[in-house]
Structure 1
Amino acid sequence: MISGARDRIGAAATRARAGLMLAVQAGLAAGLAWYVAHDLIGRPVPFFAPVAAVITLGSSAGQRMRRTAELVLGVAVGIGLGDGLVILLGTGPWQIGVMVLFAVLVATTVGGGAPLIVQSASSAVLVATLTTSTGQPWTRFFDALVGGGIGLAVMTVLLPINPLSVVRRAADPALRAFTAGLHEAALGLSDGDPDVIQAALTRLRSAEGTFAAFRTAIDAARENVAFAPARWRARGALAQYVEGAPQLTYALRNVRVMIRRAQVALNDRERVPEMLPASVRHLGDAVELLRMEWSRGVEPVATRERALRAAAESGRAYGTGVGYSGGVVVAQIRTSVADLLRATGVEYAEATRQVRAAVGWQARPLGARRRTARARPVPPPSASPEPDAG
């Protein structure tokens, strides 16, 4: 019970640290937006300026430029409709309902997303309830424009978030879950326990969420690096994550196929050579090494070596004789190794060559390969969008 409380406190502290920078950015942007609109430009009550600044910073990661454009357009639609309908209909509960109806209808008609729709409706309500019809509508639109601009300036120039920290924080749980799933699958294969294999498969299915967060973080980091001059120096280190993330996604899919077939192999009581679980374990070690080498910003040499060792062990297992499902497991290991090599920056053709060399096929004549292919069961196609590297 005490341990659970500590875990919850630790998780809360982690979330607080992760949100601290956004909180500081939002506070600074709101204060600056009011100062610029009120003290420098002379707007008497620039309500929409700090609101627009905060909404800009609170937009989904990786889409702030688009969300800001939708925000400003939404404010324009809401204010324009609100001012016009207040003059025509007056104020009251049913008038507010009509304003919101028209604001949402216009926003959806022009194809706006959720930010435009929500901002159009809320701006119309604010105009009808908290502001008067005096003054020009364009002044409130100008307030929103000032606030959106201040929000963008804060996040790109004054207090840009470190993109590498964001990506590493998102990549860490994804790669740890990937590693744990592979190690658990290796244990299940070694012990001949289908239930452990199923647990590994469930773990990797759950890892899809962490990989989605990883991809979102990469999108945000790309945007941050593109528009924040102070973070341009991070482009080189960030490139490892940006270029490697898609290949890791392919590897995860191939590994899940491999684990499903490993479970079938155990259920069918196929022979499982000891090199096969060793190969899966080495593949998990390679993913863990990739996490560590990426976090240090070094060339992932150790990752490549361990991945090729996994391929070599799978080749040895295949050579001792495996059943149909075992053949699929071997094929998926080879393909996953190729995906992992590509995640480290190796080109496709070179990754294929290295995997075949590690498996022991590089020096074999083509006729021998064909005879082996006829003698062995042919695995189904890989989950990877590219040809099997084995």
Structure 2
Amino acid sequence: MDGVREEVRRRLRRLARTALPILQCAIAAGLAWVVAKDLVGHARPFFAPIAGVVVLGVSLGQRLRRVGELVVGVSVGIGVGDLLISLIGSGPWQIALVVALAMSTAVLLDSGTVIALQSGSSAVLVATLLPPGDSAGFNRMVDALIGGLIGLGVAALIPANPITVAHRQGRAVFGELAQALRGAATAAEERDPGRAAAALSRARGSQKALEDFRSALETGSEIATIAPLRWRRRNELEHYRAAAAPVDYAMRNTRVLLRRTVAALRDEERVPEHLPEVLRALAEATTVLRDELAKGEEPVRARRAALAAGRAATGELASGAGFSMRVVVAQLRSIVVDLLQATGMNREDASAALPAVGGKRPER
């Protein structure tokens, strides 16, 4: 019974997260129908509400491009369909041929998936419903434009909060990075290659979180561009955008660190005494960075924490260690540089802030 209640709560939370996009789609569909039917005078403008919903979608992102793709896709489909049906008539094989040629034309135009799909569906519309040469073909293109523009207008006037999704996905990414660093620290402390391997396996699965984070930032940037009500959130979003690439690098370097940790522990190399402590300090800096970004603050405390961890990653830390453990220390220093860049420092300043090891600075 508890499991059922938890599942219901999970689904209700998911509905709550998508409530605003659903509301936007509903309003856009209704407005598109009214404008196309009552103001423009189209008798059955079913393509207008469809276009409004497609442009908005329950999943956000790339709406400006979708408007163009919709109109181009509809135009290609109707143009190819109208030309062929007027020559070869209508029937099962004619429909198949028209759809194939319309979608092939869209692909040859080097178009996206939306254009190809809209070309195919519009060709079907011409082949089955619209008389060849009828002006309704042009009306469908106008309907697509009306629906697309109204979808954009609804997104601008009833915008989602561009920071909300960035917060949620950012927490997941920074949480995965901190968890991986803590896993490396515990494995090194306990001399346990199995624990290091488990941490590596989990870190390898973090790529989806990184992709979702980048997608959330793309969506947030679009909202902050087209929605006047959200312009003031652009600075907050910029902090996240500045952190995105360095955090991606930090996760990649952490995976390398974990692979070498597994190798070092299996080969029973000596573990530097303070290595677990430095790894945990770096994980804490990651958590502080997550919290400061979530609050919209300049990540000053995270920068200080990362610098403190980096200053402990000196040549003495790797002194007398085996090959794999020296690589671990080198990767640790690279992760420090990545996190410093995520706080807003440039790469040169971040590298210069660390103590030199053998006269060399960290390299990517």
**The TM-score by the shorter chain falls in which range?**
over 0.9
What's 1:378 paired with? none
Shift of 1:331: 1.0
What's 2:149 paired with? 149
Aligned residues: 363
Q: Secondary structure at the match of 1:246?
A: helix
The whole-number CA distance in structure 1 between the counterparts of 2:165 and 2:277 is 34
Shift of 1:301: 2.1
Letter in 2 for 1:120: S
Letter in 2 for 1:305: R
* Runs of 5+ unmatched residues, structure 1: 362-367, 374-386
The 5-angstrom pairing of residues 263-274 of structure 1 reads 263-274=262-273
The whole-number CA distance in structure 1 between the counterparts of 2:131 and 2:172 is 51
Percent pairwise identity: 42
The whole-number CA distance in structure 2 between the counterparts of 1:20 and 1:316 is 54
**Residues 14-38 of structure 1: CA distance to partner in whole angstroms, max 9, x if unpaired?**
3222221211111111001001111
* Runs of 5+ unmatched residues, structure 2: none
The whole-number CA distance in structure 2 between the counterparts of 1:324 and 1:291 is 33
The whole-number CA distance in structure 2 between the counterparts of 1:9 and 1:63 is 32
Letter in 2 for 1:209: K
TM-score, normalization by structure 1: 0.87
Letter in 1 for 2:139: T
The whole-number CA distance in structure 2 between the counterparts of 1:51 and 1:85 is 25
What's 1:341 paired with? 340
Shift of 1:135: 3.3
**Residues 319-354 of structure 1: CA distance to partner in whole angstroms, max 9, x if unpaired?**
653222221111111111011011001122221222
The 5-angstrom pairing of residues 286-365 of structure 1 reads 286-315=285-314, 318=317, 321-356=320-355, 361=356
What's 2:190 paired with? 191
Letter in 2 for 1:328: V
Letter in 1 for 2:308: R
Indicate if the aligned counterparts of 2:21 and 2:58 stay in contact, CA closer than 8 A.
Answer: no
The whole-number CA distance in structure 2 between the counterparts of 1:147 and 1:62 is 17
The whole-number CA distance in structure 2 between the counterparts of 1:6 and 1:350 is 52
**Residues 84-129 of structure 1: CA distance to partner in whole angstroms, max 9, x if unpaired?**
3333333322221121122112111211121111100011112333
**Residues 225-273 of structure 1: CA distance to partner in whole angstroms, max 9, x if unpaired?**
2222221111111111011110111111111111111111111111112
Letter in 2 for 1:184: G
What's 2:246 paired with? 247
The whole-number CA distance in structure 1 between the counterparts of 2:74 and 2:179 is 48
What's 1:381 paired with? none
| 1:52 aligned onto 2:51 | yes
What's 2:362 paired with? 388
Shift of 1:316: 7.5
The whole-number CA distance in structure 1 between the counterparts of 2:316 and 2:252 is 22
Shift of 1:289: 1.1
The whole-number CA distance in structure 1 between the counterparts of 2:342 and 2:216 is 17
The whole-number CA distance in structure 2 between the counterparts of 1:207 and 1:109 is 36
TM-score, normalization by structure 2: 0.93
The whole-number CA distance in structure 2 between the counterparts of 1:153 and 1:59 is 16
The whole-number CA distance in structure 1 between the counterparts of 2:136 and 2:203 is 57
Name which of structure 1's ranges 218-227 and 77-86 shifts more when overlaid on structure 2.
77-86
Name which of structure 1's ranges 261-270 and 51-60 shifts more when overlaid on structure 2.
51-60
| 1:70 aligned onto 2:69 | yes
Aligned-CA RMSD value: 2.2
Q: Secondary structure at the match of 2:344?
A: coil
What's 1:25 paired with? 24
What's 1:159 paired with? 158
| 1:172 aligned onto 2:185 | no
The whole-number CA distance in structure 2 between the counterparts of 1:7 and 1:324 is 49
